[in-house]
Structure 1
Amino acid sequence: MSYHVRPLAPDDHDDWVRLFTAYLDFYSTRLDPEQIELQFRRRLEDSEAEFRCLVAIADDKAVGIAHYLFHRHGWREEQVCYLQDLFVTPEHRDHGVGQTLIGAVFAAADAAGAPKVFWMTENSNRQARKLYDRIGKLTAFVKYER
């Protein structure tokens, strides 16, 4: 299977909505259509404060997305990169699409001078964790939220 990764473009709207909605469904999350549209617009902005989006394309169709953000860190001079969302359609998993998307985020972080990239997933997300265990280091941190 041949595929390539590129930044999100305005013409990707319908594919991005389809992929992002499937990602939200995976995590049993719903957003109002207005919020989904806001998130799409934000990912197209050329702003350091906004998330960026990469799209994996196979046969002229978007089959995966990665959302990432650069931000300051309290213990480092350079910024760090947070990979918030990674989603690949079920039929394209285990073909290297996720690893290629993450590799493209790593390359973007290197180009931006952000040597640290971090991400999270649910403990039960076994399929994703097989990939993450190969390319990353599991930390001992526990997430809390309000």
Structure 2
Amino acid sequence: MNDETKIVIHPITLEDKEEWKFLWRRYLSFYSTIRDDALYQHTFARLLDPDYPDMFAYVARQQGHLIGLVNCIVHDHGWYQQKVVYLQDLYVDESARGKGAGRRLIEQVYAHADRHGMANVYWTTQTTNLTAMKLYDKVARKTDFIKYQR
């Protein structure tokens, strides 16, 4: 892979804000969700805040532009003494899919969890998200759990 097509994964930075917001809007749109600007500001600030370890994010960059993001939440779990990581949002721009960015973002979350002694990494997706599930089936174990919410 030459430098022009190289995908670089790094922790989110202040400089990523506008491109992250653009990609996160697309991600939420995929799930038919719209949020106001205050939530984008709030979430980005938490992802960036070193004094708020309960959330973290990585981004994928190619040719100087963000092409992907992963936003995670760290929380306690009743079945483990260590905390776990909920990989809440994973998005790769349509133009960049199939080139390894999604896999590399997930692997970065795994590495983060391992470095910090986390017990587990998990996430959910819609049963109709077949494209993403092709990747997920390669990098994780599918469970039999179904999500319910109020």
Q: Place the TM-score, normalised by the shorter chain, in its bin.
A: over 0.9
In 1, the alpha carbon distance for the partners of 2:120 and 2:148 equals: 21
Distance 1:72 1:41 in 2: 21
Q: Aligned partners of 1:24, 1:102: CA distance in 2, in Å?
A: 18
Aligned to 1:83: 87
Name the residue aligned to 1:103.
107
- Per the alignment, residue 142 of structure 1 pairs with 146
Partner SS state of residue 34, structure 1? helix
Task: Report the TM-score when normalising by structure 2.
Answer: 0.94
Partners of 2:13 and 2:109 in 1: CA distance? 17
| Runs (5+) with no aligned partner, structure 1 | none
Structure 1 residues 88-128: Cα deviation after superposition (integer angstroms, max 9, x where no partner): 00011110000000000000000010131101000000110
Choose from 20, 41, 45 the match for 2:24: 20
Q: How does 1:1-146 map to 2 (within 5 A)?
A: 1-46=5-50, 47-49=52-54, 51-146=55-150
SS in 1 for 2:110: helix
Alpha-carbon deviation of 1:34?
1.4
Q: For residues 34 and 77 of structure 1, what CA distance do their matches in structure 2 show? A: 34
How many equivalent pairs are there? 145
Amino acid at match of 1:97: A
Cα distance in 2 for residues equivalent to 1:38 and 1:65: 17
Across the aligned residues of Structure 1 and Structure 2, the Cα RMSD in angstroms comes to 0.9
**Which runs of 5 or more residues in structure 2 are unaligned?**
none
Q: What's the % identity of the aligned pairs?
A: 36
CA distance in 1, matches of 2:37, 2:59: 21
TM-fit CA distance, 1:48: 2.0
